[in-house]
Structure 1
Amino acid sequence: MFISTFIPTKELSGKFRTAHDMMRNIDGLQPQEAFDELLKYIFLKTQSEIKGDILDCEKRLCDSGSFLILENEQYTKLNKLLYNYLERVEWLETIWNNKKFNLSKKALIAIHEIFKDVTLTDISVDKKSAALRTFLTPDIRKGLGIFLTPDEVVKSIVEYIDPKPGEKILDLACGSATFLIESCKRLQNNSPNISNFELYGLDKNPRMLLLAQLNLGFDEKCIFHNKLADSLFVKEGSIDWYVANSFDIIITNPPFGVILDSDQYDLSKYSVCLNKKRQYSELVFLEKCMKLLKPGGRLGIVLPRSVVTNSSFFNERRELSKYGYIESIVVLPAETFQISGTQTTTILLFAKKYSYPEEMEEKSFVKYVNILNIGYDSTGRFRDGNELPYLASNLKDNCEGCEKKLKLIQLGPTKKSSTLSNIRELMLKRFESEDCMKLGELTTYVGTGRTPPRSKYSKNDEGLFLVKVGNLTGKGIDWLPRDRNFIGEDEKKKRENSSTNLMLQKNDILLTSSAHSPKYIAEKVDFIEEIPGVIGGQASYVGEVMLIRPDIKKIDPYLLYIYLSLPSTKEKIQSMITGQTAHLNSNDLKSLTVPMDYIESTHELNKFKEIVKQQVKLAAELNCTIFKKLKLINLVESSNIGRDL
């Protein structure tokens, strides 16, 4: 009797894990090697079920009168069938060119016993894919270069795009077909009477494409057209269904951060590569998606935030504006893909291709949402309050009638043709109001410091003190020297004579401007009342720290410090971050708007200021006390005081 559709996901995942562990224990395989052999067996079994081939050998009558299958015959038959099946699938030769199991007889027959009562082609798409995802631990994924898009992100994108029967759906970097599986499930749930749905996928990694086929390729309702190919550089006419203006929907999480070089690739067909010898893959993928969409087609894509925030990409965004426009942007927290090994800040970008030429001149808003909670933290631990399940309904209904309202901002209105080219400016303007002044108008200087080469640091705690990120606390600068906090006299003189403001002074405000994660930008803001004489009475700062020097004729430095320390201000500053990690540009920070209350000074803020001044004073006293304590410790250590006590 076969266990088929009714096998629970947990049980199927357990079988995958048992087989994987058995191969490791019997043959001593590494996790990645064992996963490869498991893939071979799953491929063999699904092919045998489709073709009606029997994997078991005939039983032989033994002297004892019982019937047994001989291990040698079974081992030979499984290998022979695998060879025959692989002969018909040329592209799998790139990973399994010897066309056989790299397993001992004992290990192969053991995993065959685990699965012989399971009919894989009868198991539903969602159960099979969920079982494989559960089985694929982070270690296995990392070893194989598999980066799975989190389930809630996939569901949110598909729910917002909302595919309909008859629409052609493509993922041009399909991986294990996560987006296509979710699309298939949604179509089946919403349209149970439709006989079948056609889905399309490409991937240049044969293992990933095989995973996609095993996940999706045997569902009677989902016809899966797939091809092993680099979707950016497919030879024209080589795939009859992969042509421009062909797809209603594209949903994808393509590779990003990859530099495409004209020496290796023909970039001439992409306008984002015009007059460029090199280009980021994410920009080329975005243009390819726009080309493939039908007029009015819909796009849901995961991208690094730098695509919309970096000023250096303005020309590329302008070229992309010729194809279509942005409907919505969703900023995801840094931990979203951290489990997969990347700390790149990502966004979900939802766009549409123009339905007709005149649509370019029509005006629209861009919906903007900053997701703060995705249901887990940076270590993968559960976190209550996941906002992603409510994302699609908030974007579609403008929060009206939603079970949980998210903070949605309407950027614009602006011409649809400007939503891509000017998205950076639209995002920066969203905090502006008439009753404000820009930070650049209230300061004499805003800029980052300079991080010296290692050779320029002083070996002893002598020279010029350098304020580093570790010295910022958000409660007052910690002036206690730590590793490499001083630079020598030569470097000091250069900073004193520099036209850039590299020497700190009274009333300066410092904050974190560069970090591996966006959540640390502007997390710590500190005020300089004085630079302690015990460290020399002078100080400079490194390139990861931003200096804001208030113009005391225009604003009280303490009131500006209070404003910059507010959580709401931190959120505004963090929205200005550029780069695939986290960098704050001084010109962007200058555009930060400061409400007139902080400039004109209200009674309530003056009371607040007195408390903050007291805090700064106490922080300075604490620093002084710590230095005195350290001096006494050194005195004790260098003499016999207290040693005989």
Structure 2
Amino acid sequence: MSEAPASCKYGLWTNGLDFFFFQKIVERFDVKFNPLGHWPPADGTIGTKDVHSDAKLRKADPDMLRTAFRRCHNFIHGNEGMPKDAAFWQFLRLIYCKMYDEGKNQAERRFYAGYIPRERNGKTEYIDEQFDDEGRQKIRERIFLLFEDVKKAYSNLFDGTEKITLSERALAFMVAELGKYDMRRADVDAKGAAYQEIVGTNLRGDRGQYFTPRSAIKLVVEMLDPQENEKILDPSCGTGGFLVESVNHQLRRFRKEDQEPEDTEEFLSELQRIKEYVAENVFGADFDPFLVKATSMNMTMAANDPGNLFHMDSLSFPKGHLSGVKEANSMIPFGSIDVLMTNPPFGSDIPITDPAVLGEFNLAGKWDKNKETGVISRGNGFQKAVAPEVLFIERAIKWLKPGGRAGIVLPDGILGNPGDEYIRKWILRHCWVLASVDLPVETFIAEANVNILTSLLFLKKKTQEEIQAEDLGQETDYPVFMAVAEKVGVDRRGNTLYKRGPDGEELLKDVTEVEQVRVKGKMVERTLHRKEKILDNDLVEIGKAYRKFREENLEPGV
């Protein structure tokens, strides 16, 4: 092992997941290595009076943020004796504190691990609060007061009795780990990927809740292309993947050529525009109150606003006893939504059997097929049990405005089983079919451990005049986009797949990035060139093909 250069002030040891930072202190007869939570930023130094509030926070890339989230969650689970779900909610409360704190002026911020001056041998040393008993106590006092403000600010999500029960050691670790990142400036993709990784291992339910892979979510949003003035809804929002990606979709629209805001004023203006968009046009609902809270956090990280989220049973709407029903009736009545995106719970093992619910749906009725003519018509009475995904199709269409668009994840059986022909007949009568995309089985095996074939079905609601015209025989032929995805970027075990050439070698593409660095007190641009692996994901190409298809073929209907 070679000796470190004499001018080296800081060091790092890592095994790829854990990171240990050190500051080298050279004394007359000895060299010490003080532990640090992290190196100081490029424009800050240890010992600066207000380093905790004035130093520039780091913008996290996806891998860094994912690692930070995972380390925090694992630290609680492994060191606090908490089950994973309890550790998750403690982690979530701290994330709320972090996001709330970033909205304050720098001088008012409390989510940080700073340094304590100590006199030693006539010299002043700065001890990292994370590794000092007195420092940990100060961190705890700041965070506890901060969390009280958070509960008041988010009174619709907290009842006021919640507490942060982490030990001082765990609390100091997490504050030091998260406090150095600027969450507001981190890319929505980075925050979403990091958050989803933690959520996915803790909140998978037993009611058919299969969290949608991010690549499929991106394709749905891209193909539906929600506009800034359109109301969007996910009536089975889970952890908010479709809603967050819609925020990201608008951000890309706001930024010309995907460039970052040039200055703080432009950045804050962009934040305000996104916040207003979310407050006015983004809606979600879920039966699970924990998932509603998880979505709220996901939206807060993406847009600095939780959006309009309702704890309710969407299949019972506009009735129901849950807390979000009354507000949802006011804000999202039937026929008010422009774009609906959802991955509803599905499966024959969780059927809807409540007659009061089934009685509200045509697709819950008994349907007959004339053996001679093949005509399918509504019979008398209702079925005793119906799979939830069938009812979600009808509920989605009822929520849309005439001309509104929907993207729904459905099991392949609905699109192909002979016994489900009446469902397809009902869909074709009430909707234009814009597109259908078959997904491979790996889509849900990797993230939900569910071996099921699914498709993405894209629909556009017909007007009443269009339905009546077709009932009178005025049928209209129109092209439908169809695609089959064989690869979605992961294998059955969740391992990332990259494109390979005929010789089996991974293919690389050239990537050029421009970054700003400080040189002799001035900010200058530096161009970086590197090679990057190409994700083997057919959904990216399908998105491109659909855009080309729409350039050549207008959407059917008005």
User: Distance between the aligned counterparts of 2:489 and 2:93, measured in 1?
Assistant: 35
Structure 1: give runs of 5+ residues left out of the alignment: 402-409, 417-645
Note the C-alpha offset of 1:156.
1.9
Could you tell me which residue of structure 1 aligns to residue 394 of structure 2?
A: 287
User: Distance between the aligned counterparts of 1:254 and 1:84, measured in 2?
Assistant: 35
Return the match for 2:360 from 269, 281, 300: 269
The yes-or-no answer on 1:22 pairing with 2:85 is no
Return the match for 1:228 from 311, 323, 333: 311
The yes-or-no answer on 1:200 pairing with 2:283 is yes
User: Distance between the aligned counterparts of 2:88 and 2:216, measured in 1?
Assistant: 26
Could you tell me which residue of structure 2 aligns to residue 341 of structure 1?
A: 449
The yes-or-no answer on 1:78 pairing with 2:167 is no
* Cα contact 2:437–2:457 (8 A) shared by 1: yes
The yes-or-no answer on 1:374 pairing with 2:488 is yes
Could you tell me which residue of structure 2 aligns to residue 325 of structure 1?
A: 432
**Residue 136 of structure 1 aligns to a residue in which SS?**
helix
Note the C-alpha offset of 1:214.
2.8
Structure 2: give runs of 5+ residues left out of the alignment: 1-53, 257-269, 320-325, 366-381, 500-535
**Residue 65 of structure 2 aligns to a residue in which SS?**
helix
User: How does 1:356-505 map onto structure 2 within 5 Å?
Assistant: 356-358=464-466, 360=470, 361-381=475-495, 382=497, 384=499, 385-398=536-549
* Cα contact 1:199–1:223 (8 A) shared by 2: no
* Cα contact 1:330–1:370 (8 A) shared by 2: yes
The yes-or-no answer on 1:238 pairing with 2:327 is yes
Could you tell me which residue of structure 1 aligns to residue 169 of structure 2?
A: 106
The more displaced of 206-215 and 135-144 is 135-144
User: Distance between the aligned counterparts of 2:82 and 2:498, measured in 1?
Assistant: 36
**Residue 242 of structure 2 aligns to a residue in which SS?**
helix
Could you tell me which residue of structure 1 aligns to residue 90 of structure 2?
A: 37
User: What do the CA deviations read for 1:83-115 (whole angstroms, capped 9, x no partner)?
Assistant: 55335645645xx88511232222122212222
Structure 2 CA distance for partners of 1:144 and 1:383, relative to 1, 3 Å: farther
The yes-or-no answer on 1:214 pairing with 2:279 is no
User: What do the CA deviations read for 1:492-547 (whole angstroms, capped 9, x no partner)?
Assistant: xxxxxxxxxxxxxxxxxxxxxxxxxxxxxxxxxxxxxxxxxxxxxxxxxxxxxxxx
Identity value in percent: 25
The yes-or-no answer on 1:248 pairing with 2:338 is yes
**Residue 29 of structure 1 aligns to a residue in which SS?**
coil
Q: TM-score if structure 2 supplies the norm length?
A: 0.62
User: Distance between the aligned counterparts of 2:245 and 2:86, measured in 1?
Assistant: 29
Note the C-alpha offset of 1:191.
4.1
Could you tell me which residue of structure 2 aligns to residue 47 of structure 1?
A: 100
Aligned length: 401
* Cα contact 1:260–1:278 (8 A) shared by 2: yes
Could you tell me which residue of structure 1 aligns to residue 39 of structure 2?
A: none
Could you tell me which residue of structure 1 aligns to residue 234 of structure 2?
A: 171
Could you tell me which residue of structure 2 aligns to residue 441 of structure 1?
A: none
Structure 2 CA distance for partners of 1:400 and 1:386, relative to 1, 3 Å: farther
Note the C-alpha offset of 1:171.
1.7
* Cα contact 2:99–2:304 (8 A) shared by 1: no
User: What do the CA deviations read for 1:400-454 (whole angstroms, capped 9, x no partner)?
Assistant: 99xxxxxxxx9xxxx99xxxxxxxxxxxxxxxxxxxxxxxxxxxxxxxxxxxxxx
Note the C-alpha offset of 1:286.
0.9
* Cα contact 1:125–1:215 (8 A) shared by 2: no
User: Distance between the aligned counterparts of 1:4 and 1:290, measured in 2?
Assistant: 45
User: Distance between the aligned counterparts of 1:228 and 1:66, measured in 2?
Assistant: 52
User: Distance between the aligned counterparts of 1:202 and 1:369, measured in 2?
Assistant: 30
**Residue 363 of structure 1 aligns to a residue in which SS?**
coil
Structure 2 CA distance for partners of 1:221 and 1:186, relative to 1, 3 Å: farther
User: Distance between the aligned counterparts of 1:329 and 1:378, measured in 2?
Assistant: 23
Could you tell me which residue of structure 2 aligns to residue 618 of structure 1?
A: none
Could you tell me which residue of structure 1 aligns to residue 405 of structure 2?
A: 298
Paired AA for residue 37 in structure 1: Q
User: Distance between the aligned counterparts of 1:304 and 1:347, measured in 2?
Assistant: 6
* Cα contact 2:192–2:302 (8 A) shared by 1: no
**Residue 165 of structure 2 aligns to a residue in which SS?**
coil
Paired AA for residue 343 in structure 1: N
Structure 2 CA distance for partners of 1:137 and 1:171, relative to 1, 3 Å: closer
**Residue 238 of structure 1 aligns to a residue in which SS?**
helix
Return the match for 2:183 from 112, 120, 125: 120
- Structure 1 or 2, whichever has the larger Rg, is 1
User: Distance between the aligned counterparts of 1:125 and 1:159, measured in 2?
Assistant: 15
User: Distance between the aligned counterparts of 1:241 and 1:235, measured in 2?
Assistant: 11
Q: TM-score if structure 1 supplies the norm length?
A: 0.55
